[in-house]
Amino acid sequence: MSSNRVLLFVITKADLGGAQANVLDLIRGFYNEYEVHLACGETGALTKDVANLCIPVHIIPNLKRSIQGIGDLVCIGQCIELIQKIKPSIIHAHSSKAGIVARISGWICRVPTVFTAHGWGFSPGTPKRRGAIALVVEKLLAPISTQIICVAESDRQLALRLGVGNQKTLTTIYYGIPDVSMGLAETSKQPVRLVMVARFNEQKDQETLLKAIAQLSNPSVHLDLIGSGISLEPCQDLTHSLGIEARVSFLGDRRDVPKLLTQAQVFILSTHYEGLPISILEAMRAGLPVIATHVNGVPEEVLENKTGLLVPPRDPNSLAQGIAALIQSPILRQQMGQAGRERYQQEFSLDQMIAKMRVIYEAALNIQNPETNYQR
């Protein structure tokens, strides 16, 4: 492998999530073209999968999602040491905190740094104080970013409106995910099984979904909730207080999500804010109709009344009505699921994403500073 084609990916967490899945797909897509390395703040599912590809994995202990103060300065120092060691020609950072550390380190070492914003920290729906801080940080870091990748056009337009980056540095590249050979969901099957795949945290809104389930008159409908996180236990308590514990299964983190999706009839994503949820793309790939909250990049995936239904955030009544409509119509479920599958194939294939990212990387290589300061 040529020494001037070294690609370093940097991400904070290694658990099961959309950003992590995107990094893994990019690594698989480019490790035959570049000498690829992964830097992460922890070990987990992502680092295990990458190590299985015989890709070097570097753990940066101070790379944490939360603000660490002195620890963050130490983290930047650790990242600079790694850059000096492996001498990347391109750095590609994912998620907000990794984007901060990697861009500052890349700027100090004069290495072109691409940043993928998997949904902005200042998107509508995020906590106001955190959003204000995120906006200031992104405005400061945009000038030292070689390219900023937005995963939804709504995110790119939001950044432009708020003065983060410009038309030249901001690019929208939709996620692309690989097809799988699991077959498609039998959407017309009765009784109906609902499924939601998401972390249990402040971003996702399983609470509203559980309240919607409690409103359904059909007792045979069952909901599978896949994922883990800090709000899991409160949601389990809520099922008991609502009297729906027999209609809801908490499956935890699963590695067989594609298979589980083919066993469902409707996919639901109840959420407060998003970038471009990969979970919806996985559902479309499986041929499932989608009911999702109308926020941020979600309408760029789900076409209203064609591939699924969009409902207002924090509105259990509207969500319950949408679920009831699809429960009552096997034909509508089948039509929406088929349309979603076709949309996935046309707009969100892995090959499309890899081809567009290849252009970004080649452009970054062409502008690389010949006086890259690995020794600073």
Question: What digits encode the pLDDT tens for the residues 190-226?
Answer: 999 999 999 999 999 999 999 999 999 988 999 999 9
Same domain flag for 58 and 100: yes
Read off the pLDDT of each residue in 107-115 and give the average, rounded to a whole number: 97
Same domain flag for 236 and 329: yes
Q: List phi, psi (to 5°) of 179.
A: -75, 160
Same domain flag for 207 and 303: yes
187, part of any domain: no
Same domain flag for 324 and 361: no
Whether residue 17 is predicted with pLDDT greater than 90 in this model: the reply is no
287, part of any domain: yes
Evaluate whether 213 touches 248 at the Cβ level (below 8 Å).
yes
Same domain flag for 117 and 220: no
CA atoms of 153 and 173, how far apart (whole Å): 8
Same domain flag for 222 and 318: yes
376, part of any domain: no
DSSP string, 22-43: HHHHHHHHHTTTSEEEEEESS-
Total of domains in the chain: 2
pLDDT band at 125 (very low <50, low <70, confident <90, very high): confident
Q: What does pTM read for this prediction?
A: 0.90
Q: Which residues are 8's β-sheet partners? A: 37, 91
Read off the pLDDT of each residue in 317-338 and give the average, rounded to a whole number: 98
Find the length of the chain. Answer: 376
Q: Is 42 exposed, middle or buried (0-12, 13-18, 19+ CB in 10 A)?
A: middle
**% the chain with pLDDT above 70:** 97
Same domain flag for 253 and 311: yes
Tell me the C-alpha to C-alpha distance, in Å, between residue 345 and each of 175, 256, 269, 281, 351: 12, 21, 21, 10, 10
Whether residue 368 is predicted with pLDDT greater than 70 in this model: the reply is no
Q: List phi, psi (to 5°) of 339.
A: -65, -35
Question: What digits encode the pLDDT tens for the residues 216-225?
Answer: 998 899 999 9
Q: List phi, psi (to 5°) of 193.
A: -115, 125
Token output for 203: 């971003």
226, part of any domain: yes
181, part of any domain: no
CA nearest neighbour of 7 among 41, 30, 28: 30
Same domain flag for 274 and 286: yes
The per-residue pLDDT for 270 is 98
Question: What digits encode the pLDDT tens for the residues 69-99?
Answer: 788 899 999 999 999 999 999 999 999 999 9
Tell me the C-alpha to C-alpha distance, in Å, between residue 269 and each of 23, 79, 121, 176, 218: 22, 35, 19, 19, 20
Residue range(s) defining the domain that contains residue 45 = 6-176+350-366
Question: What digits encode the pLDDT tens for the residues 262-287?
Answer: 999 999 999 999 999 999 999 999 99
The per-residue pLDDT for 67 is 76
171, part of any domain: yes
CA nearest neighbour of 124 among 165, 101, 168, 157: 157
Evaluate whether 154 touches 297 at the Cβ level (below 8 Å).
yes
Same domain flag for 28 and 160: yes
Same domain flag for 325 and 356: no
pLDDT band at 182 (very low <50, low <70, confident <90, very high): confident
Q: Give the domain CATH number at 319.
A: 3.40.50.2000
